[in-house]
Amino acid sequence: MTTTSADLLQRFSFDAAPIRGEIAHLNECFSEIIRRHQYPQHINVALGELLAATALMSATLKFKGRLTLQIRLPGHISLLQAEADEQGQLRGIARYDADQPDDQLSFEDGQMVITLEPEQGQRYQGITSIHGGNVAAALEDYFSQSEQLPSRFWLSCDGQQAAGFMLQQLPSEQKEIDQDAWDRVSHLASTIKDEELLGLDNEALLHRLYHEETVRLYPATALRFFCTCSRQRLATALHQVGHQAIVEMLQETGTIDVNCEFCQQHYQFGQDDLPELFPENNLH
Ligand SMILES: [Zn+2]
């Protein structure tokens, strides 16, 4: 039995149809992400949905690395971003004009950007335009415009927890039979209510939707909040700025202070850290 108060990702499949599904529940990891920011509630909700979608899609990662989903928008709320790696580690941010915090979140004239960054190998980025709706509609636009396996998403967030449900067609030669099964299975999923997706455990949800099908449920994997920032990464970035420029900045301000945008971790570098930042200068 899976409990919905956990942070987990669970795959299921249908014995009679080449379709797989994923269900994601984000509780503690979602709280960890939003408590680091003071986003207005409607931004938390949209970010929760995007995080749930990112968790669902991370189930299909076939490499070590990172998947990033961005929704770029022209209004006061300019960016929603969620990231996941192959170990189910998630983080996310929103960028918006703090002077207009209550501005409506509209997905008109936006872009969905999906980036895959394997630790080894080629980075891939796909960009599609989105035309209103919500996070699930933006993702479905993306999947229908790009050469991906047909996929459908149902996402919910109440500001405290987020959950997502995905269906994806698997490659098969029996096209016509597939279409019937796909239509039936997605039609049933369209009857999910937000409170069911957020509140029912996975067995109960799948039974409620597909009690006439044979559904196979696979072991769940954990999701958690994790930020990839580190003092070492920042030191590398400062090193790239160059010795001269950093020395001048330190002379002006005394310290260089950086806050990680994702987790709000504060890092500080001072005069004493120059040997750590520029070890090659120690030789002179
Ligand atoms: Zn961080």
pLDDT tens readout for residues 113-137:
999 999 999 999 999 998 888 999 9
Is pLDDT of 180 > 60?
Answer: yes
Is pLDDT of 175 > 60?
Answer: no
The pLDDT of residue 191: 97
Which residue ranges make up each domain of the chain?
A: 8-225, 231-283
How many Å lie between the centroid of ligand 1 and the Cα of residue 242?
Answer: 23
How many Å lie between the centroid of ligand 1 and the Cα of residue 58?
Answer: 20
How many Å lie between the centroid of ligand 1 and the Cα of residue 200?
Answer: 32
Q: Which CATH number fits domain 8-225: 3.30.565.10, 3.20.20.80, 3.40.50.620, 3.55.30.10?
A: 3.55.30.10
How many Å lie between the centroid of ligand 1 and the Cα of residue 147?
Answer: 33
Which pLDDT band holds residue 268 (cuts at 50, 70, 90)?
A: very high
The pLDDT of residue 150: 87
| Cβ atoms within 10 Å of 72's Cβ, excluding its own | 16
How many Å lie between the centroid of ligand 1 and the Cα of residue 31?
Answer: 15
The pLDDT of residue 251: 93
The pLDDT of residue 60: 85
| pLDDT tens profile 125-174 | 999 998 888 999 999 888 888 777 889 999 999 999 999 999 999 887 66
How many Å lie between the centroid of ligand 1 and the Cα of residue 232?
Answer: 12
CATH code of 231-283, in short, is 3.90.1280.10
How many Å lie between the centroid of ligand 1 and the Cα of residue 258?
Answer: 10
